[in-house]
Structure 1
């Protein structure tokens, strides 16, 4: 395990990472470890890749091949520290598979999480009871952030009190139900949904580790956005679960008969979360990384995209993205300014989130530029890493992390997933633009991405 005070994962969403600051640097980095490349792949390599490899199909294959028999989704199969399934990473991976029509992969993951949570029902009830009684709760008592692929708890030391993954799972389950029309899952998973929602309602205001597995003594707007998105989803589906649940046998009391109550409490908590973020998470008209901080983090994109705590065009969100672009965007997007995990490079998945936001705000050309950049980061086998060591925040830390954990994680399933999402968003945006330009009398475009976009709008 990392010897640093906060062994974060290097990425977030998934497995990782990162606080990843390993403590004081050695007097000199190991001479046997090369410095990161000083130049990055350019247009020529990108064109070569698109000629020889369908990165979309490769990304689907990478995800399918790394779903375990239990249906958990490993963060990275070749990086020991990431040989686990995170609810956060896994949900975004499953969402990407829903976007490309591989609903079987997504449903398998959601069933895996359902089983993981139901197996810990007694723990959730004990935690809620202790919190309401004012009893202390140790850091190892909370639900974990990552699990072994067989659904058991990992035994290694890890900053496990992270709430973002549980909110993200609720949101992703709702997206899966909307996209597939399989509303029976809302009833089938009602116990796990109820447990997760009540767990989040009880603990959302407590400091816990962020998506980078750092700063467990703070409250983070990005985490609150994940919880907000999940609880809003519960509010939408709870009434239907109640109506259908009364017709099912053997339903638990809390889940079977209290769904309208759950809907109300979920919505009330979501409203309170939004008020809290706007009151404590905004400085100088923009969002901050953590309450009490003035720093910006790329994960703040989640406040609007996809969790909609704020709309993408909300003035606070616009100012936040402008600061993210000013401070963190080079060719790709960095996590935060002081990031030193593998030197603090450009993250594939965060670059895709920024491109997704651009699509939602009409900046399609900017989104396409980021999509091309992501494609250029794939290696000769079409594999995408967690980050690329270009334009590093602190190059001295790159060899330190290579010596500690090996080369940068690759393939990172979350990176492949977010590439798929951005590709779908760009296709949808371009399809909508073509249809609008052709006028009302022109034939409808047969654009799968546009169909996804229209379907989501109709559901919303």
Structure 2
């Protein structure tokens, strides 16, 4: 399967400032911190202008709102608009619309992407201003007491303590501890919350698609816990075109929960991380079935209708599909040559 087209599709969502919109659709023509992190995962392994410029754009965004971060390094946000915003206009400005901005996982994801980028030789840090803002984001998570903080989570919905959010923060803090000052206790508190909460996502959700992030890309949980998470997700959430996010999800629910396309490549990448090649190849085959020839992979198939919604292509869906298909095709080719 030719993956060159995938990069062309991703580039359509790349903005002149280096950030990415979540989709080409009108509804998603915005910049989400988390979506940018996932959209540039295909470029993380070696120095890449796409990766570096994306993080420079996000760093510039944080520098623009440094005054706000300064306030909430010492005082917890109360209203949602007081949090570091999760979604921005294409020119990286806050918008006045009400939104579930309490998304601690987005900050954790960003920190993780910075740390992993540095480890892989990416020039994501330009100067002392970038170092300063990274330190302030660590301080922000400490002020929030992220390990007990209720937030809107990856899906921007109800406020509760989400394992996926706590895990993203732990992964992010671990990733930047060689760059800035991160207290060991700050990481330990998050790990204690995960030990208590997992394999549940939250008090109200036994399992959730967001938990896959703790396996890929964060590599945060033990092998046994990863297997438990995968068993719960595949047995309870898997459907025809992907996975539902969680039971009784009402987003694009028209008689049934919507089926999210990036779930299949995400599951494949999780199994690949665990060295479970047969399972990874199983989801490689399932992924190929939901990737159209033009690589405009949708966000989801509408529940009860089985047709894609308008958020097509979704950058996150394209990126994860690209990574899995490339990985497995390379593996298959290598094994064929060896035999």
Question: Is this a same-fold pair by TM over 0.5?
Answer: yes
Alpha-carbon distance in structure 1 between the residues aligned to 2:171 and 2:41: 14
Deviation at 1:161, TM superposition (A): 1.4
Question: In 2, are the aligned partners of 1:76 and 1:412 still within 8 Å (CA)?
Answer: yes
2:169 maps to 227
Give the aligned length: 333
User: Deviations 1:385-420 (Å, cap 9, x if unpaired)?
Assistant: 01124xx4xx2xx59xx9xxx933101011011112
1:58 maps to 5
1:2-401, aligned counterparts within 5 Å?
50=1, 54=2, 56-78=3-25, 80-99=26-45, 103-131=48-76, 137-180=78-121, 182=123, 185=126, 189-203=130-144, 204=146, 205-216=148-159, 218-235=160-177, 237-238=178-179, 259=180, 262-263=181-182, 265=183, 267-279=184-196, 281-282=197-198, 287-290=199-202, 292-311=203-222, 313=223, 315-331=224-240, 332-343=242-253, 344-389=257-302, 392=303, 395=304
Deviates more, 1:327-336 or 1:164-173: 327-336
- Over 3 Å counting, the alpha-carbon distance change for 1:353 and 1:186 in structure 2 is farther
> What SS does the aligned partner of 2:90 have?
coil
Alpha-carbon distance in structure 1 between the residues aligned to 2:287 and 2:127: 35
Alpha-carbon distance in structure 1 between the residues aligned to 2:129 and 2:230: 39
Aligned-CA RMSD value: 2.5
Question: In 2, are the aligned partners of 1:98 and 1:176 still within 8 Å (CA)?
Answer: yes
Alpha-carbon distance in structure 1 between the residues aligned to 2:210 and 2:336: 31
Alpha-carbon distance in structure 1 between the residues aligned to 2:173 and 2:62: 16
1:403-442, aligned counterparts within 5 Å?
407-427=309-329, 429-430=331-332
- Over 3 Å counting, the alpha-carbon distance change for 1:294 and 1:164 in structure 2 is closer
Deviates more, 1:184-193 or 1:66-75: 184-193
In the superposition, the TM-score normalised over structure 2's length comes to 0.89
Deviation at 1:107, TM superposition (A): 0.8
> What SS does the aligned partner of 1:130 have?
coil
- Over 3 Å counting, the alpha-carbon distance change for 1:378 and 1:338 in structure 2 is same
> What SS does the aligned partner of 2:81 have?
coil
Deviation at 1:288, TM superposition (A): 1.0
Question: In 1, are the aligned partners of 2:260 and 2:300 still within 8 Å (CA)?
Answer: yes
Deviation at 1:305, TM superposition (A): 2.1
Deviation at 1:359, TM superposition (A): 0.7
Question: In 1, are the aligned partners of 2:153 and 2:162 still within 8 Å (CA)?
Answer: yes
Deviation at 1:66, TM superposition (A): 1.7
User: Deviations 1:308-340 (Å, cap 9, x if unpaired)?
Assistant: 3313x1x23322221111111234322112123
Question: In 1, are the aligned partners of 2:117 and 2:124 still within 8 Å (CA)?
Answer: no
Structure (1 or 2) with the larger CA radius of gyration: 1
- Over 3 Å counting, the alpha-carbon distance change for 1:112 and 1:125 in structure 2 is same
Deviates more, 1:323-332 or 1:68-77: 323-332
> What SS does the aligned partner of 2:286 have?
helix
> What SS does the aligned partner of 1:140 have?
helix
Question: In 2, are the aligned partners of 1:118 and 1:191 still within 8 Å (CA)?
Answer: no
Deviates more, 1:194-203 or 1:301-310: 301-310
> What SS does the aligned partner of 1:219 have?
coil
- Over 3 Å counting, the alpha-carbon distance change for 1:75 and 1:148 in structure 2 is same
Deviation at 1:377, TM superposition (A): 1.9
Structure 2 alignment gaps of length 5 or more: none
Deviation at 1:277, TM superposition (A): 1.4
Deviation at 1:231, TM superposition (A): 0.3
